[in-house]
Amino acid sequence: MDRPRPAEPGHLAGEPAREIPRLVERALDGRATVLLLLARDSADAEAAVRGLVLPTLESRQLADEAYTEVSAIAWERELPGAVLERLGLPEVTEADPRLGLADTGPRVLVVTEAGDADPVSLHALSSAVHRLGDAPVLVVLAGALDDCDAGPLAELARAHRGTTCHLERLDAAGVQALAAGVGNTLDEATARRLAKHTDGSAAAVLELLAEQDPDLWKVPDSPLPPTARALRTVRALLAEDDQVRLLVEACAIIGRWAVLEEVATLAELDDPLPVLDRAVDLGVLRTRRASMRLLVGFRSRLVRAAAYESMGVARQRELHIRAARVLADEGARLRQRALAAGGPDAELAAELDDWAARCASGGSWEQAGEAWLAASRMSVSEAEAERRLVDCLDATVSNGNLFEVQALIPELESTSASPLREAVLGYHQLMLGHRDEAEVLLHRAWQQAADDDRATKSAIAHRIALHNLVDWNSAGLVTWAERAIELADGAVPSVPSGLEAHTMLGLGLGGEGRPDAALQAYAKVTSAVRAGAQGQRAMMGQGWLLLALDRVPLAAHELEMAAPISAWRGSTRISLWAYGWLAHARLALGDLSAARAAVDRAIPMLEQTGQNVALPLVHSAGAQIAALRGEIALADEHAAKAASVRTDYQAMLVAATMARAHVSIATGDYAGAVRAFEPLLATQRHAGIDEPGFWPWQDLYAIALIAIGEVQAADEFLRPHEELAAARQHRSTMARLGSARARVLFSTGEVTAGRDAFERALGLISDLPLSLLRTRIHFAQGQALRRVGKRRDAEAELHHARRGYAAMGATGYVERCDRELKAGTRSRDIDSLTELTPQEQAVVELVVQGMTNREVAASLFISVKTVQYHLTRVYARLGVRSRAELTALRHGG
């Protein structure tokens, strides 16, 4: 048969998009292969054939006669050899178990709906491939994961484990590539909406692209339709039961998870529970409980779209009008009126505008943005429509969903210039992490705003204060926050910017070294605002400040309370910062599992919203956790992600720098740690970056300098930071820097002074629950004592550190402690090849891992000359002449 038209490669998210073409290439190069493609349903698996297998075959110019594709048929499952016959292959015989495929040149056999294939054919294809060896034969079996639970497909998955691919859901990039393959160009925002709408189903995306006018995808807020297949299915199901149809229609009108009582009222059903059970059994609806109430929703967005479209326009309008009367929430009622409206309605637009402003005053930015967008669409006046669109985007940026913003930016840029428009564009750039663009746009907006327009001035001042917060310019943050607060007082109409500025003022005061004033500022705002989105902001900011002031358990409590967005109806930006700082607080307490849980909650939010300002903070915690656990590949991924944003914002830069430094130090790459700090050191740092407690990077840099032999540079670097920490009496910072100072003293031969410095560092935090810092100081002291020959004392410190790391699950550092103990204690061990001293064994272990002499020296905290000395003795004792011979002998032993 003719090969179907391929889609572009790479449309599937993750590893399969890279692995499947590689396996196809390998097969055609002469390695007979069974490629088993398993997806959530067989249609998605078939889409992978179109998007990943066929383009590779075309690039190899495979002849049409070399390609055969069939779809297995369910009723032929019990017919032995049915698939083989349809593929044009002979029956299996003892004389030719390779099915005539040997010496025939390249052959590609594809079976879709493989879960319906007969077992005899599947077993025969698998056996033939095993016997073909180096023949250029590819057998592709595409099916659903559910079919792999048992039976022949499960057997094949075990037999061909290395070439079985579990296909992931489409992401936005995947939708874009798939669309391009069938002649559609989608922007990222539209692709993301389509991926979400189809739940990442490649088959559903292909269906929608084929069925819909391409112009549909150019309208950023148009409702996405169902596939024709989903519409037919839902119509057929609803036609069988009128009561189920009424319930499903009511759910489709409300649109989101709805309270059963409201759905039943809208559907005019007196006893909805039996009807609901039938709808669930049909696979149309599903249920969940929240706050002791039963909620009803759809099995998928496609099903909801199909249910809505199946009603027809007249029925939709009838139910929207009825919903506007029966729903309890004012915003929901206004939304229903807007959906029922046949066109612009100035009165309704004004009501929506008023509701949006009330939502914004409480910080409920998602609801505000939705209402302002509806108000803009309902507006009769073009000027009013533009103003409300600006307000919509401002609220949506505040909520933190930058992908939704991106879809509307072209429309915003086509509106008339105004200070608020410039401010929104600057705010958007701020949230993307683009400092210079945000600086220009925000200050231009400030200059353009009329002096007597206090509301606009206050809003812009708040955005500039936030800009300074992300840049960690504490003085600028205080100046602009106070300006926003002053302008908000007496502004008409009232604006939320003053209250929001109050929620970040304390951080600026703390960054200026005024902790008492900072705490007072938060005491004032948290007592005034205890609930809602503004309460979330205040609690997150207070938790951030408390963490910087060494009140870590209380900080963790505040941040954990502030993090869940659903509890506050707040902002994803605030939730992301809360989760990021919560992870760092849990790290400080030595609770690596809780720290990782916070990171794991934050990462999907980052991916779903497109926000960048909190990205380095979250991944910095992730990098440190993974490094402590010895998961170096994962730590490296986190560090790379932390540095992936193009930014000059100093808070983002320092977080990314610390991520890379932690990974480098964990692997003994101290030169790499020094290099990691070069971008931060090259910039003109704001004073707040070095304020004790907020960004503890200074000791990491000093430690790395000492490890590469730059002891004098470390000494000079530490002095001003030690003086500042002492002036502030910030105990954890004094302990961190004191530990680094102790290393300097040991390196210059001042052992007694060095030991005293370590003990002072431990004493400073003796009554603080800073488990990780305390354990690190014990580890550093053990290393230093071992280096100067104080082996018994070193052993005690290293065992103390080992217990601490083991308790928190830091397996990577437990292993480092073991290496230190092995290298430095007086016990001897017998190598499998010959008897070596403990330190020689430690050196050998690291050398055979591929480390250079300098890396070995840094890891074991000894000099390069000592490493060379030990290697010379080991070479002579073992009779080897090179690292390669040593490695071969070690592995051979």
pLDDT of res. 827? 37
Q: Which pLDDT score, from 0 to 100, does residue 491 have?
A: 62
Residue type for 541, please?
A: G
Residues of the chain with CATH 1.10.10.10: 228-338, 838-892
Q: Where does 749-852 have alpha helices with state H?
A: 751-764, 771-787, 791-808, 811-824, 838-847
Q: Which amino acid is at 892?
A: G
- Angle in degrees, CA 561, 562, 564, rounded to 5: 85
Which pLDDT score is estimated for 812? 94
pLDDT of residue 9: 34
Q: What share of the chain is helix, strand, coil (3-state, %, to 5)?
A: 70, 5, 25
3 state DSSP class of 11: coil
Measuring CA to CA, which residue among 43, 264, 39, 263 is closest to residue 146?
A: 39
User: CA-to-CA distance for 569 and 533, rounded, in angstroms?
Assistant: 6
**H helical segments located in 287-326:** 301-311, 313-326
Does residue 493 have a cis peptide bond before it, meaning omega lies within 30 degrees of 0? yes
List CB contacts of 820: < 8 A, sequence separation 6 or more.
779, 782, 783, 786, 794, 798, 860, 861
pLDDT value for 41? 81
Q: What is the CA radius of gyration of the chain?
A: 32
Q: And the tokens for 136?
A: 């250029």
Give the per-residue pLDDT at 832.
40
Is the pTM higher than 0.85? Answer: no
Structural fold of domain 16-168: Rossmann fold (3.40.50)
* Alpha-carbon gap, residue 733 to 142, rounded angstroms: 58
Compute CA distances 886 → 828, 854, 858, 870, 890, whole Å: 20, 18, 21, 13, 6
CB 491 within 8 A of CB 454: yes
Q: Which CATH class is domain 228-338?
A: mainly alpha
Amino acid at 356: A
Report the alpha-carbon distance of residue 133 to residue 27 in Å, rounded: 10
Selecting from 1.10.10.10, 3.30.70.270, 3.40.50.150, 1.10.8.640, what CATH number does the domain 838-892 have? 1.10.10.10
Residue 602 burial (CB count, 10 A): 27
Query: How far is residue 107's CA from residue 62's CA, in Å, rounded to a whole number?
Result: 9
Q: Which of 646, 758, 659, 728 is nearest to 700 (CA)?
A: 659
pLDDT of amino acid 399:
86
Residue 633 has a pLDDT of 93
**Residue recorded with tokens 């539209």:** 190
What are the angstrom distances between the C-alpha of 749 and each of 147, 492, 662, 754, 794? 69, 69, 27, 9, 16
Query: Where in the sequence of the chain do the CATH 1.25.40 domains occur?
Result: 529-605
Residue 698 identity: Q
pLDDT at 510: 97
Strands 67-71, 107-112: pairing kind: parallel
d(CA 730, CA 724): 9
Element housing 294 (H / E): strand 293-298
Residue 825: predicted pLDDT: 46
Give the DSSP letter string of 834-893. Answer: SEE-HHHHHHHHHHTTT--HHHHHHHHT--HHHHHHHHHHHHHHHT--SHHHHHHHHHH-
What CATH number has the domain spanning 529-605?
1.25.40
Please report the pLDDT score of residue 891 as a whole number. 62
Q: Which residues of the chain have pLDDT under 50?
A: 1-14, 825-833, 893
556 neighbors 589 (Cβ within 8 angstroms): yes
Query: Rounded CA gap, 295 and 826, in Å?
Result: 67
Counting Cβ atoms within 10 Å, is residue 422 exposed (0-12), middle (13-18) or buried (19+)? buried
Q: What b/e string do you get for 64-75 counting C-beta neighbours within 10 Å, with b at 16 or more?
A: eebbbbbbbeee
Residues paired with 290 in a beta bridge: 293
Convert the pLDDT of each residue in 478-504 to its tens digit: 999 999 999 988 665 667 888 889 999
